[in-house]
């Protein structure tokens, strides 16, 4: 029997993914990408790790790839919004940082159509138009103006990226801990670092609503 999250993903595949492909996006759950000129538009589905909800994360990156603070080169077809690209936003139906404000399929929808999974998937459709308006602000990707950081800060940023990307792809805790240790985290501190970052990500506030759009 399918879990609620599996049923939700199936409805997204049926209703939402064809719309994304019509808009020029390629990829598969959770990450979709679209190259437009010198930039790549990034759209990812982030599911509540406790189940019952998801949110859309958008970002813009360079079409020729991105180099992280620690020197790793990531080609455009492997980028996602968890990288420190400087241009990101979270799309959700409610305001505030709580997961209760995400798209929810663990409670009755506001406009019931079909089953709860279909209704939730249809709730996403108007937000895709808003997403296009947000992407349309950017003619190109501009590298964030970052100050020089210490080696400790670089490691901290690397750890944050590893945990965020691990959660996005539903990696196990063991897999993420292994990657943290391979990145230079001391084995005896890996679990502490992991738990601290998870708590930070859960408390992270989305960006404030945006009201104006600029086009080239």
CB 89 within 8 A of CB 134: yes
Distance CA(215)–CA(134), nearest Å, equals 9
Give the Cβ contact number of residue 88 at 10 Å: 17
Distance CA(113)–CA(117), nearest Å, equals 9
* Residue 58: closest CA among 17, 30, 77, 37: 30
List the structure tokens of 109: 């929808």
* Whole-number CA gyration radius for the chain: 18
Distance CA(175)–CA(183), nearest Å, equals 12
> What values do phi and psi take at 43, rounded to 5?
-135, 125
Is residue 103 classed as helix, strand or coil in its secondary structure? strand
* Residue 77: closest CA among 9, 45, 31: 31
User: Residue 63: enclosing H or E segment and its boundaries?
Assistant: none
pLDDT tens digit at each of 216 positions of the chain: 789 999 999 999 999 999 999 999 999 999 999 999 999 999 999 998 888 999 999 999 999 999 887 778 999 999 999 888 888 899 999 887 788 889 999 987 666 667 899 999 999 999 998 899 999 988 888 877 665 556 677 788 888 888 888 888 788 888 888 888 878 788 778 888 888 888 888 765 444 444 334 444
Helix ranges, 101-186 (H): 116-135, 151-168, 173-182
Distance CA(39)–CA(105), nearest Å, equals 33
């Amino acid at each position: 029997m399918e879990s609620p999250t599996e049923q939700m993903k199936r409805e997204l595949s049926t209703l939402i993914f064809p719309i994304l492909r019509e808009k020029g996006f390629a990829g598969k759950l959770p990450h979709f990408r679209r190259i437009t000129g010198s930039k790549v538009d990034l759209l990812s589905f982030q599911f509540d790790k406790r189940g019952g909800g998801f949110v859309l994360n958008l970002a813009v990156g360079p079409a020729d790839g991105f180099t992280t603070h620690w020197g790793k080169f990531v080609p455009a077809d492997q980028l996602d919004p968890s990288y420190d690209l400087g241009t990101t936003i979270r799309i959700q139906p409610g305001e505030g940082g709580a997961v209760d404000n995400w798209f929810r399929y663990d409670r009755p929808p506001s406009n019931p159509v079909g089953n709860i999974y279909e209704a939730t998937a249809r709730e996403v459709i108007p937000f895709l138009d808003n997403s296009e308006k947000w992407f349309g602000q950017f003619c190109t990707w501009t590298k964030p103006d970052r100050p020089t950081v210490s080696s400790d800060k670089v490691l901290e940023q690397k750890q944050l990226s590893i945990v965020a990307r691990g959660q996005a792809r539903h990696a196990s805790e063991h897999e993420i801990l292994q990657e943290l240790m391979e990145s230079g985290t001391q084995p005896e501190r890996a679990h502490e670092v992991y738990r601290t970052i998870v708590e930070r990500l859960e408390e992270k506030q989305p960006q404030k609503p945006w009201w104006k759009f600029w086009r080239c």
